[in-house]
Chains A and B, each alone.
Chain A
Amino acid sequence: MGTNTRKIVLIAILLAVSIVLNLVERFTIQGFTGLPMVRLGLANIVVLLILYTYGTKDAFAILMLRIVLVAMLSTGLGSVSFMLSLSGGLVAFLLMVTFKTLKGFTVVTVSVMGSLGHAFGQIMMAIFVLATQEIVFVLPILMTLSVPTGIFVGLTTKRLIRILGPQMGYSQP
């Protein structure tokens, strides 16, 4: 299998994995906590893995495809949930790319920033779409939960990069 074909196949598999992870945690963790917008962020493991191995462009493509496909499979493209996922994903990606380029920070901080960005992006969109500024008071809960979930996702990704990285043509600095 050529390098390019191998890359496309791997990205397709990882996209499928991220969609399944996202749907699974939607129906388990989120329902369990009783809080809107709370998620472990397991699907972000895939985005982080691609970001560190294949780069920004591919990671962004995976993220956008996941958000659109998950919306099509669950709430629909015109739903509030889709808009929240989109804004959360975009802010998270922006922060992750920024902190990845900064020296001295590992994938754990990049993951925590992604988790925080997701919370900020969602809350901003929720205030705008639902026209309810009181939603801002949910932010401290999301921010506090972002740290442990971000660390967990970051450490998992770190391990995955070590295992899968060499097969994806990535050598750790």
Chain B
Amino acid sequence: MSKKDIILISIIFVFSLASLITVIIFQQRTAAVDGTAIVRYRGIEILHISLEDGSASVLHEDYVLEVDTQNHIYKVQGDLGEVVIQYRDHKVSVIEETSPQNICQHQGETNSPLQPLTCLPNDVVITIHSDRFDPDDDDAIIQ
């Protein structure tokens, strides 16, 4: 490795690490117990789950297959089959889906706007919306 290599790679690594640490800190700070989990299929919002009590509002009946409010289990349509979402302790996670590697299930639970759950082969994305963090709002207050 040349001197130029080492300098450039070191700069990239320090910058990347700094941005990673920033995101991790903000993930904890923006964790929202009163936010909303927004479930999108093929870019369309199909289901909202309240992180406060797990209540759900269906926006697209064709793509929401089942809403079990007692056990807080929600089944939505994915490109490869059903995607099963669970609400527990003010967090949401994907507990079952059909995909080659099941990466979506391994992403764990989220309640932070900075930690979306992405199920790529199924084209399903779950993001968290919180009044405390709005990426579109320049005046958003992050506490």
Q: Do A and B bind each other?
A: yes
Q: Measuring CB to CB, which residues of chain A are less than 8 angstroms from any residue of chain B? A: 26-27, 30-31, 33-36, 74-75, 79-81, 84, 104-106, 108-109, 112, 116, 126, 129-135, 137-141, 143-144, 146-147, 150-151
> In the complex the two chains form, is A104's CB within 8 Å of B4's CB?
yes
CB-defined A-B contacts under 8 Å, sample of 27: A26-B100, A27-B101, A30-B101, A34-B108, A35-B103, A36-B120, A74-B100, A81-B120, A104-B4, A104-B5, A105-B4, A108-B5, A109-B1, A126-B118, A126-B120, A130-B40, A130-B43, A131-B40, A132-B127, A134-B116, A134-B127, A137-B114, A140-B16, A140-B22, A143-B20, A144-B13, A146-B12
Q: Which residue of B lies closest to A151 (CB)?
A: B9
B70 sits at the interface (CB 8 A): no
| Chain B 96-116 interface mask (CB, 8 Å, partner A; 1/0) | 000011111011100001111
Which of B23, B101, B107, B121 contacts A79 (CB under 8 A)? Answer: B121
Assess the B12–A112 pair: CB atoms within 8 A.
yes
For A112, the chain B residues whose CB sits under 8 A away are 8-9, 12
Q: Which residues of A contact B4 (CB under 8 A)?
A: 104-105, 109
The number of chain B residues with a CB under 8 A from chain A is 39
B17 interface hit (Cβ, 8 Å): yes
Alpha-carbon gap, A163 to B15, bound state (A): 34
A-chain residues with CB within 8 Å of residue B108 when the two chains form the complex: 34
A170 to chain B, nearest CB (A): 19
Expressed in whole angstroms, the minimum distance between the Cβ of B81 and any Cβ of chain A is: 14
In the complex, what distance in Å separates the CA atom of A133 from the CA atom of B118? 12
B103 touches A34 (CB 8 A): yes
On whether the beta carbons of B20 and A147 are closer than 8 Å, the reply is no
Interface on B for A, CB 8 Å cutoff?
1-5, 8-9, 12-13, 15-17, 19-20, 22-23, 27, 40, 43, 79, 100-104, 106-108, 113-116, 118, 120-121, 123, 125, 127, 135
Q: Contact between A134 and B22 (Cβ–Cβ < 8 Å)?
A: no
Residue of A30, A141, A147 with most chain B CB atoms under a 10 A cut-off: A147
**A80–B102 touching, CB < 8 Å:** no
Pair B20/A135 contact, Cβ less than 8 Å: no
Do A36 and B118 touch across chains, with their CB atoms under 8 A apart?
yes
Query: CA of A164 to CA of B44 in the docked complex: distance in angstroms?
Result: 50
Q: Identify which of B3, B23, B107, B121 contacts A75 (C-beta below 8 A).
A: B121
B residues near A31, Cβ cutoff 8 Å: 101-103, 106
Q: Is the CB of B16 within 8 A of A80?
A: no
* Smallest beta-carbon distance A109→chain B, Å: 5
Bound Cα distance from A138 to B23, whole angstroms: 9
Q: Please give, as numbers and ranges, the residues of chain B lying within 8 Å of A27 by CB-CB distance.
A: 100-101
Min CB gap B131→A, angstroms: 15
Q: Say yes or no: B5 contacts A109, CB within 8 Å.
A: yes
Which A residues touch B17, using CB under 8 A? 144
Min C-beta distance of B88 to chain A, whole Å: 18
Q: How many whole Å from B58's CB to the nearest CB in chain A?
A: 19
